[in-house]
Amino acid sequence: MNLESALPEIIREATGTASPLRRCTPVGGGCINKASRIDLDDGRSFFLKSNPRALPRLFESEAEGLRALRQAGCLRVPEVVATGGGRDGLPHFILMECIAAGRPGPGFYEKFGRGFAQLHQQALADQFGFENDNYLGSTPQPNQWTSDWVRFFRRHRLGHQLKMARRNGLSDPQMDRLGQRLLDRLEDWIGHPDEPPGLLHGDLWGGNYLCDDRGDPVLIDPAAYYGRGEADLAMTQLFGGFDSSFYPAYEEVHPSAPGSQDRLEIYKLYHLLNHLNLFGRSYFSGCMRILRRYGG
């Protein structure tokens, strides 16, 4: 059976309301998966992503991240309807609320910055990590609960990516040496201030939010975990940054402590190492620039 013909039953089971499928329209713009808008005869619409060769639990972990972010109630997040597939000839899939697109309203980035800061202040966990491992793009992201932030970031973030770079033949002896020194001295750089775990989107760049038809921001495609907010803020700054009004609005709600510029560089390194591992050597020099400064 193909996914399209299975959808009415999947939707009936998940929502309790049956309707025939009217249309299935491909949506472009995704990096990895096939995306479609699903319209039913009864007027409801959904957003579907599918992939016959999805990585193990890829869509389930996306659903867990979306649910956690939505539950926090700080910014709009699509409601997950169902995940499944991977047997009976069905591709793996995630089905969620379809977000009608609009144009950023006045104060879009202020609202976004404030909501993002509120998310980081959600004291919903007493350790760093997440309920399950997930993915950063297609890189496995370990999330084992850890009481100490520096230990968590050393082992499950920077150490994990550095090990992968070595295994993938993308590092060199100098990167390995500087990386190890940075790991050894991480406490000096990111040990303070002592902030409790907050909920992070985990991969917030320009392609991972939408603007809905009310002109409000919507978070998609998370690599969610409980961590320190600056680790999330760093990704927003990595490739050109968001509109300049985003940052003062963030600061208003969640003011940064002295030393944040250095910490942000180290948090950016995690994402740059991930890009090195995903996309190759063109990210090597960007990684080395930060490693020389903080591991040298």
Binding footprint of ligand ADP on the chain (CB under 6 A)? 27, 29-33, 35, 47, 49, 78, 96-99, 210, 220-221
Nearer to ligand ADP, 182 or 238 (CB): 238
Q: What angle do CA 222, 226, 230 make, to 5 degrees?
A: 85
Confirm whether 203 is a catalytic residue.
yes
Q: At what angle do helices 246-253 and 108-120 cross, to 10 degrees?
A: 40
- The catalytic position among 203, 216, 221, 232 is 203
Nearer to ligand ADP, 203 or 230 (CB): 203
Nearer to ligand ADP, 201 or 263 (CB): 201
Shortest Cβ 98–ligand ADP spacing (Å): 4
Nearer to ligand ADP, 78 or 86 (CB): 78
Chain centre distance of CA 145: 18
Residue 214, Cβ density class (10 Å: 0-12 exposed, 13-18 middle, ≥19 buried): exposed
SS3 85: coil
Shortest Cβ 128–ligand ADP spacing (Å): 25
- 132 CB contacts (<8 Å, ≥6 apart)? 57, 60, 61, 64, 143
> Do the beta carbons of residue 74 and residue 118 sit within 8 Å?
yes
Shortest Cβ 33–ligand ADP spacing (Å): 4
Residue nearest to ligand ADP (CB): 30
Which residues are marked as active site? 203
